[in-house]
Chains A and B, each alone.
Chain A
Amino acid sequence: MEQVERLLKRTLPFQVVSPETLDGIAEISRHEVFKAGEVIYGAGQPAEEVYVLVSGRVAHRIDPDIKARVHEKELQVGDVFGWAAILEGEKVRLADVACIEAAEVLKIDGARLLELLRKDVNFGEAALKSFSQLISQQYYLPPSVSERVPTTLSKVGDTRTPASNEAEPQTASAWTLTMYRAGEWLRSPDPYLMMVGFALMLGFWYLTVEVLKLPRFEDLPGLTTVVKEWFAEDPVYGMSIYTAEYYQHIWVSIRRVAIAFLLATALGVPLGLFLGWSRSFREYVFPVFELLRPIPILAWVPLAIIMFSGSETPVIFLTFLASFFATALNTMLGVESIDESYTRAACCLGANRWQVFKEVIVPGSMPYVFTGLQISVGVAWFSLVAGEMVSGQYGLGYVINTSYTMVRYPTIIIGMVTLGIVGYTTSAMVRVAGNYMMQWRLREMALGGR
């Protein structure tokens, strides 16, 4: 059984399906041996089973009445044939298949296979999609045949009407691809190495502070103290996951970062695009931009407090500023990174200047823009804490600062760890959004094995 699964895993349509589905397919597949010269099936016969070639040599000859670009081919071990059994409409064999040498095959009942794939919510559709790819690319058959492969969510046949086809199949495959990658990650050693890394860091903290009590470390709050405080229903220093105050600080910080980040994106991306696109605009703006950019955020604090009243707006302003520079600069670099052939090709094909901007400059710079946004979210948290330490009445930076003055050392660590977690989460969200919006890049990289 395991051997069958391993073989199935090597075939194009089944390499993506979930382990449960693979088990199911292995269960319904039957092993059969054919002698040299024996016919496996002939064109026109009813098609009930899908076949996988396990060993031997088999000739596949498509019925000449069907418009295929190549009619005859020899099948390789691992090739899937007899897929007519899962086509919609009349299930009839489209080819004559005979053994050149003795051959072993797996026979899989078509109807039951479809049922299994339909149940596989995440990967079934991807498998069906590769069936239709297989039909058009390995058997060189026209779309009239490959489009008869059924799909679980939408019918591939619908792609004939161009208005509705664009978005739907893509989002579905994006989801399957993400799930597939997540599954692969869990099967790889990476998550376990990550755990080892964390364990080492925590162990180091525990040993130096609580067990060995090394000089310079002895005054720090220990691992157990912090964990106890963090999860205490009645915390000694007043803040744990059971107090409403904790969530208020988190919420205030997140809100500030969100506002600043959205503002920075809304202003920084267009600015960067125009900086990269228009030479004269760049001559005006870039020198000023380059002069302001290296000024550290902390140096802006007095101005921020003078310019904005209250405690909220100065912090948002400081956070915004750092994000804005990172976003605008990366976007500009993104525009510069676009190969000149793309803009030239667009000109050749009749695009005007505005269309070149919309169709080439904007999508072409997206990879850099999203790198910029990830950096931007990082520096937003960085400058947020700086701002909150100086002014502000809530927020994680404020917690860290006041806990220090009030000698609540474990609370400092709770604030820091929380910052780490929230910061990482927001950064990951930007990455996921970027991947989602740049399917072309994701697929290119997936093929590159990255």
Chain B
Amino acid sequence: MSAVLEKVRTQGNEARYGAIRIDDVVKIYDPEGAAVMAVDHCTLDIKAGEICMIVGPSGCGKTSLLNAIAGFHDITSGAIYMDGEMLCGPGKPKADPGADRIVVFQNGALFPWKTNLENVAFGPMMQGKLSKKEIIEKARSMMADAGLSGTEHNYPGEVSSGLRRRVEIVRALMNDPKVLLFDEPYRALDSLTRSVMHESLLDIYYKNKVTIFFITHDLEEAIFLGHKLVIMTTRPCRPKKVLEVDIPHPRDYSVLTSPRFRELLEETASVVHEEARKSFASGEKEG
């Protein structure tokens, strides 16, 4: 890994694609009936190649925002742009899902009926851009890079949950996405596995500069991984505090004990705690 770190240090941030602009987005579920407001006039700028961590209590509406970017849901008003191009906005409430923005799901969505290799090869196979042979070769080499050699012919159900998450990220990267959207992917993992996953995610990030939109409710995870930290209000969700994490990348686990990390944690913990209390008081459910 040290060679990679060195490369990152010398070359810096090289991503040119994947800047996301969320412009005054509102999402109301069931506008004619119950009219539940999930996202309230949310505006946010994410630079290309940035890791943007969205922190907020469970059920605050973060996932609605992610679904709007991915194109799973429409938005009620406002607009979302990627690299200056409108994904959704006036006249086009729902973005088209596409391989330039790939979601890594909360509970994992590797197809259990396909082997890990077939899963990784799935995107290019569907898009039909490369020949089958080229796809398999690329899939094998990307899996090898991520330390997944030897599990190609296992089914996802046969490997550990940590490995599964890694396979899922590799499956996304196979498509050269501009943005990766993470929906609390490590929530179901135990804290030890999670710490390993964090380092492996950073490792993968340093090799493939993509923009990362990462939803979590774990503040430490957010500060450890992110360039930018966005703390959301509880439902309806709106950025309450946006913060640049000035700990230099590449990072490793020693960051967790650094004084700056502690300072940032202290600075943000009370804000998050306040929102969590509000959320708890209003009795929000998961979602």
Q: B residues within 8 A CB of A154?
A: none
B58 within 8 A of A: no
Give residues of chain B (123-175) contacting chain A, Cβ–Cβ below 8 Å: 123, 126-127, 132-133, 136-137, 144, 147, 149-151, 153, 155, 157-158, 171-172, 175
Interface band, chain A? 35 or more
Given known pairs A341-B105, A348-B103, the reply for A440 and B112 (CB within 8 Å) is yes
Number of A-B contacts (CB under 8 A): 103
Q: B residues within 8 A CB of A133?
A: 150
Q: Which of B71, B98, B123, B157 contacts A447 (CB 8 A)?
A: B157
A346→B158 CA distance, assembly (Å) = 21
Q: Contact: A443 with B133, CB < 8 Å?
A: no
> Which residue of B has the minimal Cβ distance to A142?
B149
A359 within 8 A of B: yes
Q: Contact: A438 with B113, CB < 8 Å?
A: yes
Q: Contact: A349 with B155, CB < 8 Å?
A: no
Q: Contact: B157 with A348, CB < 8 Å?
A: no
Interface of A is mostly: helix
Give residues of chain B (89-113) contacting chain A, Cβ–Cβ below 8 Å: 97-99, 101-103, 105-109, 111-113
B80 within 8 A of A: no
B280 within 8 A of A: no
How near does chain B come to A254, taking the closest CB pair, in angstroms? Answer: 32
B214 within 8 A of A: no
How near does chain A come to B138, taking the closest CB pair, in angstroms? Answer: 11
Give residues of chain A (359-395) contacting chain B, Cβ–Cβ below 8 Å: 359-360, 363-364, 366
Given known pairs A345-B105, A349-B122, A359-B122, the reply for A162 and B153 (CB within 8 Å) is no
A225 within 8 A of B: no
A295→B218 CA distance, assembly (Å) = 55
B70 within 8 A of A: yes
A163→B108 CA distance, assembly (Å) = 29
Q: Contact: B132 with A143, CB < 8 Å?
A: no
Q: Contact: A136 with B150, CB < 8 Å?
A: yes
Q: Contact: A443 with B157, CB < 8 Å?
A: yes
A169 within 8 A of B: yes
Given known pairs A69-B147, A364-B113, A440-B112, the reply for A345 and B126 (CB within 8 Å) is no
Q: Contact: B136 with A162, CB < 8 Å?
A: yes
B72 within 8 A of A: yes
Given known pairs A136-B149, A363-B113, A366-B113, the reply for A444 and B103 (CB within 8 Å) is no
Please count how many residues in chain B sit with their CB below 8 Å of the partner chain's CB atoms. Answer: 39
A248 within 8 A of B: no
> Which residue of B has the minimal Cβ distance to A341?
B109
Q: B residues within 8 A CB of A355?
A: 126
Q: Which of B105, B136, B153, B155 contacts A169 (CB 8 A)?
A: B153
A347 within 8 A of B: yes
Q: Contact: A137 with B158, CB < 8 Å?
A: no
Q: A residues within 8 A CB of B98?
A: 348, 350
- Per-position contact with A for B63-93: 1 when CB-CB < 8 Å, else 0? 0000000111000000000000000000000
Q: Contact: B99 with A350, CB < 8 Å?
A: yes
> Which residue of A has the minimal Cβ distance to B153?
A169
Q: A residues within 8 A CB of B101?
A: 348
How near does chain A come to B225, taking the closest CB pair, in angstroms? Answer: 21
Q: Contact: A444 with B112, CB < 8 Å?
A: yes
Q: Which of B107, B132, B149, B157 contacts A440 (CB 8 A)?
A: B157
Q: Contact: A348 with B150, CB < 8 Å?
A: no
A425 within 8 A of B: no
> Which residue of B has the minimal Cβ distance to A444?
B157
Q: Which of B106, B111, B126, B155 contacts A350 (CB 8 A)?
A: B126
> Which residue of A has the minimal Cβ distance to B127?
A350
Q: Contact: A349 with B126, CB < 8 Å?
A: yes
> Which residue of A has the minimal Cβ distance to B150?
A136
Q: B residues within 8 A CB of A345?
A: 103, 105, 109, 111
Q: A-side interface residues toward B, CB under 8 Å?
A: 69, 132-133, 136-137, 142-143, 146, 159, 162-163, 169-170, 339, 341-342, 344-352, 355, 359-360, 363-364, 366, 438-441, 443-444, 447
What are 13 A-B contacts defined by CB distance under 8 Å? A142-B144, A146-B150, A159-B153, A162-B132, A162-B137, A341-B108, A344-B103, A347-B71, A349-B99, A350-B127, A359-B111, A440-B115, A444-B158
